[in-house]
């Protein structure tokens, strides 16, 4: 999938999907790790639906932790999957703060509307396949494969 720029004038923040045989690879880019985490979350929503169709009506708070940044990325995405599943919501805007092993975030979205969102697939979990959080060419990349 083509990279999606949030605001090409100001930021390098963007996301893309990368191929996996049965599932879908999601990848976020950002000037900071936190921004790359936000973009990875957007890439995850895009596995389910067109992110432009998801309105940022309601905010929820997410907190999680993990022993290292890669496991924290998986934990962040899995926390979102849990909220998507139990609240029956989709999210289209994210604000992430990283403090050592901990992550604090807000996610904005709305309840699933099958007719409008045409959700293609339910995400079961974020795997550790191709899991990577690293600086690449002066920007941060956060990626993994999600099981659908």
**What is the distance between the alpha carbons of residues 119 and 62, in angstroms, rounded to a whole number?**
23
104 binds other proteins (CB under 8 A): no
Which residue's structure tokens are 């949030």?
A: 6
Least Cβ distance, residue 114 to other proteins (angstroms): 4
Name which of residues 23 to 62 contact other proteins (CB under 8 A).
23-24, 47-49
Exposure string of 20-43, with b = 16+ CB inside 10 Å and e = fewer, is beebbbbbbbbeebbbbbbbbbbb
Q: What would the two tokens of residue 126 be?
A: 């974020």
Which of 9, 10, 22, 52: binder of other proteins (CB under 8 A)?
A: 22
Least Cβ distance, residue 118 to other proteins (angstroms): 5
Q: What is the dihedral of CA 13, 122, 110, 117, to 10 degrees?
A: 90
Site of interaction with other proteins (CB under 8 A)? 1, 17, 19-24, 47-49, 66-67, 70-71, 74-75, 78, 81-82, 85-86, 88, 111-112, 114, 117-122, 124-129, 131, 145, 147-148
């Amino acid at each position: 999938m083509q990279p999606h720029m949030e605001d090409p004038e100001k930021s390098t923040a963007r996301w893309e999907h990368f191929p996996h045989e049965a599932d879908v690879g999601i990848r976020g880019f950002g000037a900071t790790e936190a921004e790359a985490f936000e973009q990875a979350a957007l890439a995850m929503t895009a596995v389910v639906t067109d992110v432009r169709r998801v309105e940022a009506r309601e905010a929820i708070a997410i907190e999680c932790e993990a022993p290292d940044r890669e496991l924290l990325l998986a934990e962040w995405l899995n926390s979102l999957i849990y909220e998507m599943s139990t609240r029956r919501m989709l999210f289209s805007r994210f604000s992430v703060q990283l403090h050592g092993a901990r992550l604090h975030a807000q996610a904005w979205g709305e309840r699933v509307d099958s007719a409008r969102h045409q959700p293609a697939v339910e995400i079961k979990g974020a795997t550790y396949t191709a899991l990577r959080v690293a600086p690449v060419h002066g920007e941060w990349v956060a990626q993994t494969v999600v099981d659908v």
